[in-house]
Each structure stands twice: as structure tokens, then as C-alpha cells.
Amino acid sequence: LSTGSSSEKKQSLFQRSSHSLHSLDIFLFSLIAGLLIYWFFFRKKTEPVPEIKPFTPVTPQIRETSFIEKMKKTNRNIVVFYGSQTGTAEEFANRLAKDAQRYGMKGVAADPEEYDLSELSRLKEIPNSMAVFCMATYGEGDPTDNAQEFYDWMQGTDDDLEGVNFAVFGLGNKTYEHFNATGKYTDKRLAELGGKRVFDLGLGDDDINLEEDFISWKEQFWPAVCELFGVEATGEDSSIRQFELVVHNDINMNQVYTGEMGRLKSFQTQKPPFDSKNPFLATVTGNRKLNKGGNRHLMHIELDITDSKIRYDSGDHVAVYPTNDAAVVNGIGERLGVDLDTVISLKNLDEESNKKHPFPCPTTYRTALTHYLDINNMPRTNVLYELAQYASDPQEQENMRKMASASPEGKALYQSWVLDSERNILAILEDLPSLNPPIDHLCELLPRLQARYYSIASSSKVYPTSIHICAVVIEYTTKTERVFKGVATNWLKNKEVTDNGHKLTVPMYVRRSQFRLPFKPSNPIIMIGPGTGIAPFMGFIRERAWQKEQGKEAGETILYFGCRHKNEDFLYQQELEEFERAGVLTQLNVAFSRDQEHKIYVQHLLKKNKEQLWKLIHSNNAHIYVCGDARNMARDVHTAFYEIAEEVGGLTHTQAVDYFKKLMTKGRYSQDVWS
């Protein structure tokens, strides 16, 4: 276009002045003009050599997803992959990668989601190499979100892993039926594909003492690795720092993180889609106490999700990001004599690492301790081990090191002094007066504060722009006479609807669940949810009421609820009784456990109605839902259903167990339980 327009300008200029020019001048002028035009416009287009630009992006892409190339480039021989939902497996993976240094090896922790795991067969290209997998099991025996692709690959691949050394440590909880299913499958499948198991599968049980299980496993794991590779421990038991401190004395505060999970200033300018790295700030529009008496505080919270484009279904979970108690944060600052408002960055000493900082940086110590670090839970043994060097009293130092060891007396001391006494990091600092760690090292060692998940207590059909939470506030006195306060529940309790005219918000996102109402509204449903386990059923019942309003035929809707006293903690009593009167709830069965001499629980009421229940389950295609405590209630409910199948259905115990397993497989027996 520019060539044409320039020619036209020159042409019109020539026409206007032709009468005063000689024909030779005209010829020369035209020749020169033509050459100039050619030089400037056409020659430029033919000059470049064929471009090779399309090929350049490939190289960085390979570097990003190839853990093999990365290991070669950074001279690593051990890679520790983690499948982590709450951060513990990631923490264990980092500890193992760090431990490698003590045995003269170089390790790296890696998120399987960020790499191409189909390259696993190439690991043998690296001498004395191995892959370790720290795999948590989540939900009903499922892999964690970040390990799903790796899990799918294992199921579908027939790659030959001969010559690939591996070991697996599983993180699970025995109160759940599918204990450590992901760890077990990973270990079994890698061996089936020809991989060499360097050490036995480790099975960590969070119901008892996951930390102790991990320590015991790795104490035997490393000698097996040393034997395989013919190496010995270097004897370097000194602390190895992973991050270096950078203090920002002169920084624009607009560049400093103030609690955001991902993008800087994401809380000021909210942009969908909202997820774990980009939570939505939902305004609190409701906060009321549900119980009428007793010494507990059970609450109903309502969050406004208008304009967020967040969608949810009954049975989904809402994740919220809480903040730590300011009193504990200030207590740490005072005990260590630190200005918490100092702006800092913790920078990874390994420049090749994908994890540049342990939490969003630059930020202040106050923000890190308030938003990013878990300061309320009992510290794991690796934290005590690393901090021991900062205790000036030899006895205190020895005890800290002992608690981090695999010796029986060390384990017993950690169990009694830290776990049973429920000492958080502030309590440890208070009770060990000679311990004075640099606060930046403490921040490096503490795990990340995790999102808390709650079963949504509303139906999106009735409340499309609102999400409801039902929770009990955790608060009690520990053995050391300190008051333990649950981080999230106390934080939510204090979220008043308006705080002096200021609307309070909660950073949140929705996590999808398999806990779903039947596709056909005509299917009967049996809901069992004592205490706050009633939460998802408030959504289910409201949705059933909505279905009836739409003229749909809703099947029998039966609820088994349990609480301590009818006059104290009968949650949502008024609403439930109204739903029963309206015929939405076909049956409302409530077990008041402490209103009589002998305790009555939901499983006792199930047995009382065994004929009706067996008919609904066996003949009418009823769906069963259980929500609440996994350790006792869910197991007792299981047992009650087995007994009903045996007593009314005439099945043997083995047949009864098999019968309900099949119902689970078909999605007709669903659980949303926690321990």
C-alpha cells in the first residue's frame, strides 16, 4: 500500500511539471525515480534469508518440560516427584532432595504437572540416578490434582522402564477405606513396567503419626540408596540453606505482595477465572450462630459471588484462604526481636529451580507470617533439626536433635513434647529460652499455610450468587495450658457482615466434587450427616424443593441427622422441620446423643428402620450419602449397612461388604468425610 501511494505522489508531481522539462530530463528523472522506488520498497522484501523463527520456540519448550535435560544440565542424579494436595507430600519431597546432599548426591524436587513424565524411561541415561515418588492419596483413593496426568500416563503406557531405579513413599490415612491407594498403585505399576524398586514402599498414616512414618522410612531408604550406588554418607549433617535473604531498604510498596496467592495486586483488580492461584474476594453477607446453647460455636456463613462467574453444584467444596491470628504473629516478632514490617525476599540459591521463592516475594515478615506460613500447627522434625543449631543451651540443642532422630526415645520425646502437648512454633520458642533462630531461616523452614475446604451448604439452583458454609469453631485448652484456636474457623467467626461500614471479604474458589444428587430426581436419597456433616444436605434438600417447584417428580428424601442435645445444637431445626411439613423431606430422623442415659447415634436409627432402608436400597435404586467424621461415624454407618444387608437381605458378611463396594463403584454410595 505504501509503495503504491508513493508512486502516485511522484506520478502526479511529474504530470504537474512535464511542460517545463526536456524529454531527456524526463527519461533520466523517471529512471532515477524508478531505481529509487525499487531500492526503497521492493529490494527490502526480497533481501531477508528465509526465516528460521518458527523453530526457536521449541528449544525453551523442551527445557521447560524435560526433567531429564534439566537434571543433566544441573548435574542432578535424584529427582523426587510429589503428588500433593495440602503441601505435605511436597514438603517431604523437598526434604528428600535436600537430604541427597548429605550422601554426596544431588537431588531436585519436581511437580509432575510441570514435566513430561513419559520421559521416565530416559532416566537411565544419567549415571547413578533414581526417581522417588512422594504420593498422597486424596478423596476416594484418587491421585491429587497435580498427579492426575502422571496417573493417567501410568495407566495407559507400556513404556519399558528397565534400568530405571525408583522408590515410593505414600501419604494416606487409615480412617479412609482406600488407604494409600495412589502410593500403592504407583509402586506396583512402576515395577510392572520394568523399573527397579530400590527400597520398599513406605506407607505413611496421617491418622497416627505421618511424620514418624516418614522418618522411619527414610532412615532405611538412604542406606539402601548408598548401597546401590556404592557411596557413603559425607557426614555433612550441618544445615543446608535453600534460600538467601535479600532485604529491600528502598522499594516501591506497589511491588510488594500483601497476601496475594499469585499475581501481584490480584486482590485490587480481580480477573476471572478464579482458582487456587487466583482466589475471588467474596463479600461476607451472612454470619450467624446456629446453636442455641452449649460451650461450642457452630456457625452459618454466607459468601456473595456476584460477578465472579463462579459456578457450583450442590455437594462441591468451597476453599477459603484464612489468615493467622495477629497475636501469634506479633508474639513471634517480639520473641525474636524483629521488625516484622521489614520488606524482604527469600531467593532460591539454586538458580535453575522452578521454585524461585518459598512464598510470594518481595513481602514483609508480617505478611509472610500472616498469609503464607503455617505457624499454628506443630512443626515437623526437620524444622526442629534445622533450628537446633541456634539454641545456645547444649541440653536444649541436644533435645531438639534427638526429637528429629529415628531413635525410639527421640520419637517418644517428639510425640509427647510437641504432638501431645500441641506446641506450635511460638510455644516452642517460648519454652526453649536459648533458641534464637534468624527469622528468615524460620520462614524458609515453615510449611505454607493451606486453603481450608468446606462442603457447600447451599444449592446453586436456589442461590446462584451465594455460597453457604456450615462450620464449628475449634478452640480448646492444651496440656501446656495454652488456648489452641483453629486458624480458619476463628478467622471466619470474626468476619462480621459489616465491620464499621466496611464489608469484609474471604479469598475463595470452588473445588468440584463427585458428591452429587442422582441424575434422575425420582431416585430416592438417604442422607446421613451428624453435626456439621449436614452441610451438603442443606444444599441437596433445597435443590429437591426447587425440583418439586419445577414440577419434577422428586423421589423419597430421607435425612439422618445427629447432635448432642435437641435444645442446644439441632442445626437448621426450623428449616428442616418446615421442609418436612412441606413434604420435601419425606423423613427427618434425628439422634440426640446426650439427651438420655445411653448415647444414641445415627447408626442406631438406621438399624431401627432397617426394613424400609433395605427396600429403598435393594429394590428402589436409592442413593446413599454419608458426610462427617471418617474415624468413627462413617465406619459405624458402614457397619450398620452391612448388618442391615445381613439381617434383612439374608447376605453373608462377605457378600454384604461386596454389595456396598459395588454400590460405591456405581456411584450409589458416596462419602464426603474428614478425620
Decide if 67-229 and 525-673 have a common fold.
yes
Cα(495)–Cα(662) distance, rounded to whole angstroms?
A: 43
87 is annotated as contributing to ligand binding: yes
Helix/strand/coil percentages in the chain, nearest 5: 45, 20, 35
Please say if the pLDDT value at position 248 is more than 90.
yes
Residue 226 is among the residues annotated as catalytic for this protein: no
Burial of 226 (0-12, 13-18, 19+ CB in 10 A): middle
**Is the previous residue joined to 362 through a cis bond, with omega within 30 degrees of 0?**
yes
Mean per-residue pLDDT, 125-146: 94
Other Cβ atoms within 10 Å of 523 Cβ, number: 17
**Of 447, 482, 459, 438, which Cα lies nearest the Cα of 540?**
459
Architecture field, domain 67-229: 3-Layer(aba) Sandwich (3.40)
pLDDT in tens, 19-71: 443 455 555 556 565 555 554 444 444 334 333 333 333 333 344 589 999 99
Other Cβ atoms within 10 Å of 57 Cβ, number: 8
74 is annotated as contributing to ligand binding: no
Please say if the pLDDT value at position 153 is more than 90.
yes
Other Cβ atoms within 10 Å of 661 Cβ, number: 12
* Cell numbers for 74: 544441573
Residue 672 is among the residues annotated as catalytic for this protein: yes
pLDDT of residue 58: 36
Cβ-proximal residues to 589 (8 Å cutoff; 6+ apart), any chain:
558, 559, 560, 561, 602, 605, 609
pLDDT in tens, 623-647: 999 999 998 999 999 999 999 999 9
150 is annotated as contributing to ligand binding: no
Rounded to 10 degrees, what is the CA torsion of 644, 649, 650, 655? -80
pLDDT of residue 362: 98
| pLDDT band (50, 70, 90) for residue 8 | very low
pLDDT of residue 232: 84
38 is annotated as contributing to ligand binding: no
Cα(572)–Cα(590) distance, rounded to whole angstroms?
A: 12
Domain residue limits, the chain = 67-229, 244-251+323-445, 271-322+451-513, 525-673
Mean per-residue pLDDT, 71-95: 95
DSSP secondary structure letter of residue 275: B
CA 317 to chain centre: 12
172 is annotated as contributing to ligand binding: yes
CA 11 to chain centre: 71
pLDDT of residue 117: 95
Catalytic residue among 200, 205, 614, 674: 674
pLDDT of residue 60: 38
Residue 350 is among the residues annotated as catalytic for this protein: no
CATH topology of domain 525-673: Rossmann fold (3.40.50)
Cα(462)–Cα(218) distance, rounded to whole angstroms?
A: 51
Burial of 468 (0-12, 13-18, 19+ CB in 10 A): buried
Other Cβ atoms within 10 Å of 364 Cβ, number: 19
pLDDT in tens, 364-421: 999 999 999 999 999 999 999 999 999 999 999 999 999 999 899 999 999 999 999 9
Catalytic residue among 455, 459, 513, 670: 455
Cβ pair 366, 375 in contact under 8 A: no
Q: What are phi and psi of 130, to 5 degrees?
A: -160, 160
Cβ pair 155, 142 in contact under 8 A: no
Cα(358)–Cα(477) distance, rounded to whole angstroms?
A: 32
Catalytic residue among 159, 213, 374, 672: 672
Domain 244-251+323-445 has CATH 3.40.30.10: no
Please say if the pLDDT value at position 189 is more than 70.
yes
Cβ pair 662, 618 in contact under 8 A: no
pLDDT of residue 61: 39
Residue 405 is among the residues annotated as catalytic for this protein: no
CATH of domain 271-322+451-513: 2.40.30.10
Cα(651)–Cα(182) distance, rounded to whole angstroms?
A: 31
pLDDT of residue 32: 61
The pTM score is: 0.87
How many CA atoms lie within 13 Å of 248's alpha carbon, on the beta-carbon side?
18
Helix (H, G, I), strand (E, B) or coil at 398: helix
Burial of 542 (0-12, 13-18, 19+ CB in 10 A): buried
pLDDT in tens, 308-359: 999 999 999 999 999 999 999 999 999 999 999 999 999 999 888 888 999 9
pLDDT of residue 41: 46
540 is annotated as contributing to ligand binding: no
pLDDT in tens, 444-489: 999 999 999 999 999 999 999 999 999 999 999 999 999 999 999 9
Please say if the pLDDT value at position 236 is more than 70.
no
Can you list the alpha helix ranges (DSSP code H) found in 121-236? 148-156, 181-192, 210-229
Catalytic residue among 458, 627, 629, 670: 627
pLDDT in tens, 499-558: 777 899 999 999 999 999 999 999 999 999 999 999 999 999 999 999 999 999 999 999
pLDDT of residue 284: 97
